[in-house]
Chain A
Amino acid sequence: MSKAKPHTTLSAKNISIGYKDKVVVQHINFEVYPSELVAIVGINGVGKSTLLRTLANLQRPLAGEILLKSKSLEHYTTTALASEISIVLTEPSASKNLTVYELIALGRQPYTNWIGSLSEEDEAKITEVITMLQLEELKHQKCFELSDGQLQRVMIARALAQDTDIILLDEPTTHLDIYHKVQILKLLKNIARETGKTIVFTSHEIEMSLQLCDQMLLLKPTSSPFGKPKELIAKGSFNDLFPRDTVSFDAQTETFRITK
């Protein structure tokens, strides 16, 4: 096969994000490719979720252009977008009365008929996803019976069942202990490798993201550097992320240290 660089799945051209009366972040640029795990990191309240919502077309960018497979995001209809981008938000499903299977099956909606009946193909996909995420035992449980970590895996399974080239996740590791954090991130990494999907997630787990991600976007109000973790460290992008008299970045160990 050709060795040419694969086409970008999602890219941002100098976008500004925010709300009507308030620009949150300006001049965001990035390009992500198939099979990549990409983290959007930054300090609390910088606008990570706003960016993710903008990428999911839940709100519009204030300026600039987002390209999905080299076509502007604005030109996709809601229906067309449903088979391109799936999301996992911080809010869990509104109804906790759904069973795990029912919730994952809802991911097939873009492909089902007018009344939402599942075809054999849909069911095969759902079973595949359930096996992949090892949810067989939870299949018939209701969502309100699950732990946070299990529910997060179910929400990821739903996004996978939607079978889109891009999966966007907002803070997939909050409320989880370190073991479950790593478990979820490694799971995402494997999904990206095995399925060729592009996975973009927001996180304030900068150290873990440095170890696992292919590319990172460090969101800051004025300039948001984007690149491979090593490149960003070499450029010193993390050094002034937090006030240095409190927390400083150690490039050697790739960790943050409390300044004593």
Chain B
Amino acid sequence: MKKTGSYRIPFIFLLLALSLSFVLNISFGSVSIPFTQVLSELFSGKIENESWNYILWSYRLPKALTAILSGGGLALSGLLMQTLFRNPLAGPFVLGISSGASLGAALLIMGSSIFSGILSFGLINTISLAIAASAGSFLVLLVVLAVATRVKDTMALLIIGLMFGSITAAIVSVLSYFTTSEELQRYVYWSFGSLGDVSWSQVSLLSGIVIIGIALSIASIKTLNALLLGENYAKSLGVQLQKSRYIIIIATALLAGSITAFAGPIAFVGLAVPHLARQLFNTTNHQVLVPAVLLCGAILMLLCDLIAQIPSSANVLPINAITSIIGAPVVIWLLTRKQKMLF
């Protein structure tokens, strides 16, 4: 592997891009705050208008942080899955992990009224939503893994991911038939994906989970590199397959599950960003790729959110639509340019 030091320049570039998109992201929104005021608030804590202060601190900053966490986290979970499943098309959305999270969320949001006899907690707070969504994604991942060990054909995995999407859609439509319109609306809004509406306490919870996911991924870097050769070679290099697989899956489920719970199902970031990072750094070494996808994912998400805001307008587009509009062409471009996708 090339010395990690030789990647310093692209990393500095990415860090600069991240800071720039962060500042841009919090500078634009439904209320226009002069750019100089944003900078002065960030660096010296002085701002002319008290309501601008409130908007920045209670709305835009937590939203920007959620964008960084979810963009980086989803991209990392995509990278983990592409390596684990030896499949360049793997990602939280394609493999049905997001569907699993949606199913967990749907059952919690809409199912609680139907099964109120059993689930009479009435506590659909964000924490229970995060747990339900993570549990859903973890279950789907386990099924996908069970199939992946039995079926060598990578196409089968993708089809199974699609099937999970269908099952989720079916259960959601059954649930929505019986549920109240308020809960249905709540679920539909959740499924649009949104980075806003997160409080500081929720941001800190999300960052806690994402940091655990990142730590587990960093601990798996050596294993991930060995897995590039295939499982048999990895084992012959001293990798304890069973254990490492579970660590990687838990990391993926924590990342994809918690982010989906807080921000809704966000498509394509997990699939496209690892490919972009590989193009950018021209390596498959996870020592480089893990930080690279975190940075690229965060930047992409901040920019998508910036577009979703439609600067100086009161409307906010669903973030899921924006990532798909940007992500799908990226994947098509990669496919047609390189003839075949590699991981």
Contact = CB atoms under 8 A, between A and B. Distances in A.
A98 B86 CA distance: 13
Nearest to B229: A93
B42 interface: no
Interface string B39-76: 00000000000000000000000000000000000000
A161 to B, nearest CB: 11
A109 B230 contact: no
Nearest to B341: A97
A95 B237 contact: no
Contact of B222 (A82, A101, A102, A109): A109
Interface in A46-81: 56, 58, 78-79, 81
Interface in B268-311: 278, 283-285, 287
Contact of A95 (B2, B86, B231, B240): B86
A114 B222 contact: yes
B94 to A, nearest CB: 18
Interface stretch (A4-12, A115-123, A227-235): A115-123
Contacts of B230: 89, 91, 93-94
Interface string A85-99: 111010101111111
Contacts of A18: none
Nearest to A86: B236
Contacts of B232: 56, 58, 87, 89, 91
A212 to B, nearest CB: 25
Given A87-B233, A93-B233, A115-B287, A98 B238 contact: no
A199 interface: no
B221 A116 contact: yes
Contacts of A103: 229
A109 B238 contact: yes
A102 B283 contact: yes
Size range of the chain A interface in the assembly: 35 or more
A86 B234 CA distance: 11
A79 B227 contact: no
Contacts of A115: 218, 221-222, 287
A97 B233 contact: no
A105 B228 CA distance: 12
Interface in A105-137: 105-107, 109-110, 112, 114-118
B280 to A, nearest CB: 14
B33 interface: no
A94 B1 contact: no
Contact of A118 (B1, B240, B343): B1
B140 interface: no
A56 B287 CA distance: 28
Given A91-B232, A95-B229, A78 B238 contact: yes
A209 interface: no
Contacts of A107: 237
Of the candidates A58, A86, A110, A115, the one having the most CB atoms from chain B within 10 angstroms of its own CB is A115
Contacts of A97: 278, 284, 342-343
Contact of A106 (B83, B219, B226): B226
Interface string B1-16: 1101000000000000
A162 interface: yes
Nearest to A105: B1
A144 interface: yes
Interface string A183-207: 0000000000000000000000000
A115 B1 CA distance: 12
A78 B1 contact: no
B235 interface: yes
B225 interface: yes
B221 A82 contact: no
Nearest to B339: A144
A190 B236 CA distance: 23
Contacts of A78: 235, 238-240
A125 B83 CA distance: 27
Given A91-B232, A95-B343, A97-B284, A110 B237 contact: yes
Of the candidates A109, A112, A114, A158, the one having the most CB atoms from chain B within 10 angstroms of its own CB is A109
23 contacts: A56-B232, A78-B235, A78-B238, A81-B238, A82-B236, A87-B233, A89-B230, A91-B232, A94-B227, A94-B229, A97-B343, A101-B2, A102-B283, A106-B226, A106-B228, A106-B233, A109-B225, A110-B237, A114-B219, A116-B221, A116-B222, A116-B287, A162-B237
